[in-house]
Amino acid sequence: MIRRLVDILVAVLGLTLLAPLLALIALLVRVDSPGGPFYGGWRVGKDGRRFRMWKLRTMVRDADRLGPGITAADDPRVTRLGRFLRRSKLDEFPQLFNLLSGALTLVGPRAEVPDIVARYTREQRRILAVKPGITGPGQIHYTTDQADSIPREAATDAYYVEHLLAPKLQIDLEYLRRRTPLSDLRVLVETVGVVWRGLVGHAG
């Protein structure tokens, strides 16, 4: 109950304070490439329930019909502005709506697409016992250590499942076994650092 109240408070405050910035970025997305500014992709949440997770669009229109669900660092479907939004994590601002609705929580495992979840082992499906998060240890690890590691010649979905998925899920499962409010706070602080490095790195 306390976690849910915190999620609602953060969502309301975040959407109120960030509304002007969100509107500006949405306008820039429209100018940068044809199509709407938002993208709602299907994800699997707690207890296997599907929901649409909202992001600012970082790829060309109908990108999910033009290639795999997992994107490599040099994916040609990613727009010029989209590369900056992905590096800085600003594309994830609209997930505050998912936070408000209760589909997401602040800190938790990454919400994966249904095709990826279908390949989970029985042990890995334990991750579905909790709500996915806007951020989490596994997500930070993937952002900082793995995003650029998919070889250009590899089939990205297959490479992700074979080489990257299991270690990331293991990080989240281990985290959930010892999760505390303080550890969640540490993840949030680390997430701020990831966003900051993405902004500064792009500017540099």
pLDDT 10s digit of each residue in the chain, 204 long?
889 999 999 999 999 999 999 999 999 999 999 999 999 999 999 999 999 999 999 999 888 777 777 776 678 899 999 989 988 889 999 999 999 999 999 999 999 999 999 999 999 999 999 999 999 998 887 765 565 667 766 677 788 888 888 999 999 999 999 999 999 999 999 988 888 887 776 555
Q: Which residues pair with 38 in a beta bridge?
A: 56
- pTM, 2 dp: 0.86
Residue (of 159, 139, 135) closest to 149 by Cα position = 159
What is the DSSP-derived secondary structure letter of residue 122? T
Strands 50-56 and 38-44: antiparallel
| Axis crossing angle, helix 181-203 with helix 80-88, rounded to the nearest 10 | 140
User: Residue 59 and residue 36: Cα distance in Å, rounded?
Assistant: 11
Give the three-state DSSP class for 110.
coil
